[in-house]
Amino acid sequence: MTDAILQQPWFLWLTLIPLGAAILAFVLPRQAHLVGFATALILPFCALLAVRQGTLPHQLFLNAGGWDAPLGIALRNDGLALVMLAVTAGVGFIISCYATAYFSARRHKPDRPHYFWPLWLFLWGGCNALFISGDLFNLYVTLELVTLASVALIALEGGNKALNAALRYLFIGLIGSLAYLLGVAILYGTYATVDLGLLGDALTNTRLNHVAMALMVSGLILKSALFPMHFWLPQAHAMAPAPVSALLSALIVKTTFIVLLRLWFMVFPALDLVVTGQILGLLGSGAIIWGSLMALRQERLKLLIAYSTVAQIGYLFLVFPLARGDAAAAAWTGCVLLILAHACGKAAMFLVAGTIHHTAGHDRISQLAGAGGPVGVLVVVFALAAVTIIGLPPSGGFFAKWLLLSAALATGQWFYLLVILGGSLLSAAYIVRVLSWAFLDVKRSHYPVIPWVMKWPPLLLAVISLLFGLIAHQPLQLALIDAPVAGRVMLEISHAR
């Protein structure tokens, strides 16, 4: 019996269970929160089982329908997919806990949770389907699932501003998807397959392939809000209800980046991409500097956090110029670790911002002055979460940036060294700005009592993100399973402890 359970392909159940739960939550709207919470409770265990299977010798592919790759769809069970499935399950679970309290604390729109839960479960299933997909067209379908669910979730807050942000997000998503699809069509027209592995073997360095690559990459960077295509992100992330903001910033932005990562390292390695890699690196650097500067200027807490996301996305794109030769594995693991660290830290920050908004009735930074009391505690949680965003030890963000720095050193690209360090300084500046306001001594006013479910999940996430560095070698090893990169990963620091 236990054997049979262990033999199940859990990475695929992680897709089917949330989708099934989404149907259930849709059919039974009154029980939606129960369905959602139960699913959120089950999925981390499935993820643990999937990761356990992943560390044992296992089959890398599972062909849907039992048809081999060019005819059927290959589902991948590699390290990258497992890491993403696990982090989505973990962060998703904590955000779900928070959401149960958040929506019941705001009773003025009673039908909102009826829609939040099925939409979020759809989104969860869509993300997981995306992580395991090894097929260009299937990736497109999962991207549609993710985009559509996110749009509806952003619009859930109601009101003109939220609708505006949601509609803009929809248009951006559609343009990005269409550009991606055009690229897929060109590749299919040439090679008669949409399988990542087969395409990776077949592709040669032709101009047409470069065109396809350019179309797909530009579509995807538009969707993942790389500077200067980030214009839609701050509004979309800041207008949504707090749990939705956390989901979008922590998990959803990374989905398109994962697709890009897969394309770059699995489909296009045969293409000469040095210049394109440098362009993406430069755009990433621009995102780090510009996003941080804009975050410094924001008056509203949620907008500040959203601009911080713009900056952190920039770091992810440094993997493309840095993943070269021996340093490839270091850049790859640094990038994956940064995704994990940012997911925990940013989710915690948005949840705290939501609780502050709920408590104080607003999120204007200048009026948080002297908040003390209940809000003061929240600001401490915010600061804990921010440690990983700035990249201080022992957080996961520190090790991620350390790996990226070592890759920059190993490949002799000093410019990126400066960008990474400068970005850290700037992020420290905008975090300290929030903290300094909150601890100014001004009059203290009366605040309502905060339900405990709105306090503890953010704290838990913040502590996880803070201590993530101490267990960093485990996700790192997982991320290197069947990774399409080779080279040394300088893990001295994590071994030294």
Q: Under 8 Å CB-to-CB from 492, ≥6 apart: which residues?
A: none
The residue among 34 and 467 lying less far from another protein, judged by its C-beta, is 34
Contacts with another protein, residue ranges (CB under 8 A): 7-9, 12-13, 16, 19-20, 22-23, 26-29, 62-67, 70-73, 75, 115, 118-119, 122, 125-126, 129, 137-138, 141-142, 144-145, 148-149, 151-152, 155-156, 182, 186, 188-190, 192-193, 206-208, 211, 215
Least Cβ distance, residue 189 to another protein (angstroms) = 5
Least Cβ distance, residue 494 to another protein (angstroms) = 36
Token code pair at residue 321: 């110029």
Least Cβ distance, residue 30 to another protein (angstroms) = 10
Residue 116 phi, psi (nearest 5): -60, -45
The residue among 10 and 265 lying less far from another protein, judged by its C-beta, is 10
Q: Which of 72, 98, 149 shows the shortest CA–CA distance to 451?
A: 98
Per the CB < 8 A criterion, the answer to whether 199 and 136 are in contact is yes
Least Cβ distance, residue 484 to another protein (angstroms) = 23
The residue among 29 and 376 lying less far from another protein, judged by its C-beta, is 29
Q: Which of 118, 145, 120 shows the shortest CA–CA distance to 131?
A: 145
The residue among 141 and 270 lying less far from another protein, judged by its C-beta, is 141
Per the CB < 8 A criterion, the answer to whether 236 and 162 are in contact is no
Least Cβ distance, residue 266 to another protein (angstroms) = 19
The residue among 132 and 478 lying less far from another protein, judged by its C-beta, is 132
Q: What is the spatial distance between Cα 497 and Cα 398, in angstroms, rounded to a whole number?
A: 15
The residue among 82 and 368 lying less far from another protein, judged by its C-beta, is 82
The residue among 164 and 367 lying less far from another protein, judged by its C-beta, is 164
Least Cβ distance, residue 61 to another protein (angstroms) = 11
Least Cβ distance, residue 433 to another protein (angstroms) = 27
Least Cβ distance, residue 303 to another protein (angstroms) = 19
Q: Which of 384, 314, 390, 324 shows the shortest CA–CA distance to 349?
A: 384
- Give, in order, the Cα–Cα distances in Å from 318 to each of 10, 20, 388, 391: 32, 37, 18, 16
Q: What is the spatial distance between Cα 60 and Cα 389, in angstroms, rounded to a whole number?
A: 33
The residue among 160 and 366 lying less far from another protein, judged by its C-beta, is 160
Q: What is the spatial distance between Cα 311 and Cα 385, in angstroms, rounded to a whole number?
A: 16
Token code pair at residue 128: 């997981």
How close are the terminal C-alpha atoms of the chain, in Å?
40
Q: Under 8 Å CB-to-CB from 105, ≥6 apart: which residues?
A: 358, 451, 454
